[in-house]
Structure 1
Amino acid sequence: MGLLSIGKFAKASGLSVSTLRRLHATGELVPCHITDSGTRYYSQDQLDSLTTPERATRMGDKPAVGYCRVSTRAQKDDLETQVSNVEAYMAARGYQYSIIQDIGSGINYDKQGLHELLRLINERQVSRVVVLYRDRLVRFGFELIEYLCRLNDVTLEVIDHTAHSREQELSDDLIQIVTVFANRLYGARSKRTRTLIGEVKRHADGQEDTTAADQRTGDAVS
């Protein structure tokens, strides 16, 4: 088998490119061949020596972190299932990992777990972030966190790219959005605010006819 470029070696070994460069600088893992232009190449024997997670960890690779979130405490069973799936995914790939669990809306960014995750990314303490679905990370702004990961040489992995949002969770997020904007427009104690939020809640719960609810919502904000 021929020599492996640093990119192919990183993918096959589970070590990040930045880690390989650091190991080269410290002399812990020196490429078997370096071209005049500075391109690094590694051998199959070197790859074979790094096939276990324990060996990779000793060589300085950073752990992965799984992020799992549900909207309410009533979804405890869903959270446990989510954690189990993420752990199984990371264990099957030999990742050294930890799990961050969060409870709160996907449009609420003031959550302890999310803050901890962003800190780990920003301080480059993890090699990758693993989530089951995109919307388990955040409802809006996924691309921004993805960009932050790229800036800090952190891989963001989504296990299942299928759209996954329970109807109730979407309804709760919609109510929260309407509440924020209604409070800003009319004030938190305004009758218009209470009426508008009440109509949105009833519409989301399916308690009234859609057409009638839309008409009253229009009257409330006109």
Structure 2
Amino acid sequence: MSMYRIGEFAARIGRSASTVRRWEREGRITTKRTPTGQRYFDESDVRAVLHPSFEAPKRATVVHCRVSSPGQKNDLASQIEAMETFRLGAGIAVDEWISEIGGGMNLRRKKFLALMDRIEDGQVGHLAVAHKDRLARFGFDYIEHVAERNGCTLTVANAETLSPRQELVEDLLAIVRTFSCHLYGLHRYKKQLTQELKGGGE
């Protein structure tokens, strides 16, 4: 999604920065702010000024549920049911439910990437999940940052019971195996390099 600072936005709509600031004071336009407080505008603001009759498309409210393997379909059903109860209690009107089967360590899951693309395109205004690791095992803070920067509210139900411990064990073992392979590869490389250096010195 394109983001414009006040000077860039002013140039985009053919006005001066002082005019944009005056419009803001008068309440004619509303500025958005990044998590660090920096003011910015996007294409929806440009269209609103250049085409006053333009109505921005409604951003979807999405609930995302995930389990790691097909054998956890019962867990997935329980997760969906729990999120239905949560959203009713929180008064959240849901436009779309996304159910996904795939490891939390895999950030190239098709549905996850498609969801992140939609967030960055400004199509999702609210995303709800049962637990942080239902989106990704690691890196949730960055995902939350991307969502906030693109105007998407991220709600976590914090249902610990919907975060299977077995998945955590499997993910931790996967990390150990990955690092073990890297260390083994480095050991082989070190041994080969040492042999070559010895051979070169003869």
1:136 match: 134
Distance 1:104 1:96, change over 3 A: closer
CA distance in 2, matches of 1:36, 1:160: 38
Counterparts of residues 108-127 of structure 1 (less than 5 Å): 108-127=106-125
Counterparts of residues 192-211 of structure 1 (less than 5 Å): none
TM-score scaled by length of structure 1: 0.54
Distance 1:77 1:141, change over 3 A: same
**CA deviation profile, 1:66-123 (whole Å, cap 9, x unmatched):** 1111111111001011122223433562524211122122112121121111111111
Aligned with 1:100: secondary structure? strand
Distance 1:134 1:116, change over 3 A: same
1:79 equivalent to 2:102? Answer no
Larger relative CO (CA 8 A, sep 6+): 1 or 2?
2
1:156 equivalent to 2:154? Answer yes
1:176 match: 174
Aligned residue type for 1:126: V
1:22 match: none
1:62 match: 59
Q: Is the 8 A contact 1:90 1:97 kept in 2?
A: no
1:27 match: none
1:167 match: 165
CA distance in 1, matches of 2:24, 2:169: 60
Aligned residue type for 1:100: I
TM-score scaled by length of structure 2: 0.59
Distance 1:36 1:67, change over 3 A: closer
Task: Provide runs of 4+ in structure 1 moved above 4 Å.
Answer: 161-164
Displacement of 1:170 after TM fit?
A: 1.5
CA RMSD of aligned residues (A): 2.7
Identical-pair percentage: 34
**CA deviation profile, 1:143-167 (whole Å, cap 9, x unmatched):** 0000000110000001126476433
1:37 match: 25
Aligned with 1:37: secondary structure? helix
Aligned residue type for 2:25: S
Structure 1 gaps, min length 5: 1-34, 41-57, 191-222
CA distance in 2, matches of 1:36, 1:176: 52
